Amino acid sequence: MFSPRPSGLPCDMALSDLHHNNRSLTTLSEINVTPLVDVMLVLLVIFMITAPLLQTGIRVTLPKTKTVEAQPPPTRAIIITVDQQGNIYLGTAGRMGHDPIPVDDLPALLTERLSQFSDKRVFVRGDGETPYRIIAYVLSLCRSAGASVNLVTEPLK
């Protein structure tokens, strides 16, 4: 049996819910953006603090050259860093290893990493104060592992 009244409530009670104090209920169609702005500002501060930490690597003073062909490394590039003391660090564009690796382990580690990439380019970041013989030795180890070597420098200002 069909009943025009809502589930057993008297008709007057149902109407009184709709017209409380002679006002009709309306839906709120505006979005409160204050909490959204608060969350976005917190996220912005978090990213501003963490972004430099993610980009940090081993500090080296790159040699300056007059003609520099600006090439951003691919997102999955292999980067070898040689610091002023001759310590060697192996990493990728997004993550740099913070522990030095023994020079004798470089060819095996590099061959293993190169097998994971289709692009066989390796970027070598050598400190400007590192003796040339160390950089030349690292370059020869990279070439013996089958890598195409690129030296990273800064433009002369």
Domains located in the chain, CATH noted: 64-155 (3.30.420.270)
Question: pLDDT (tens digit, 0 to 9) for every residue of the chain, 157 residues total?
Answer: 555 555 555 554 444 455 455 566 667 678 888 999 999 999 999 888 877 665 556 677 677 777 766 666 666 778 888 888 888 988 876 666 677 888 888 888 888 888 888 888 888 888 888 888 998 999 999 888 888 888 887 877 7
Q: What pLDDT is recorded for position 104? A: 87
Six-digit token string for 127 = 């400190």
What integer pLDDT is reported at residue 97 of this predicted model? 67
Return the pLDDT at 15: 47
User: Using only C-alpha atoms, what is the Rg of the chain?
Assistant: 32
Residue 20: predicted pLDDT? 52
CA 132, CA 139: separation in Å to the nearest integer? 10
The owner of tokens 């950089």 is: 135
CA angle 46, 52, 53 (to 5 degrees): 85
Task: Please report the pLDDT score of residue 37 as a whole number.
Answer: 93
Q: What is the pTM of this model?
A: 0.57
pLDDT at residue 128, rounded to an integer: 85
CA distance from start to end of the chain: 90
* pLDDT for the residue 74: 65
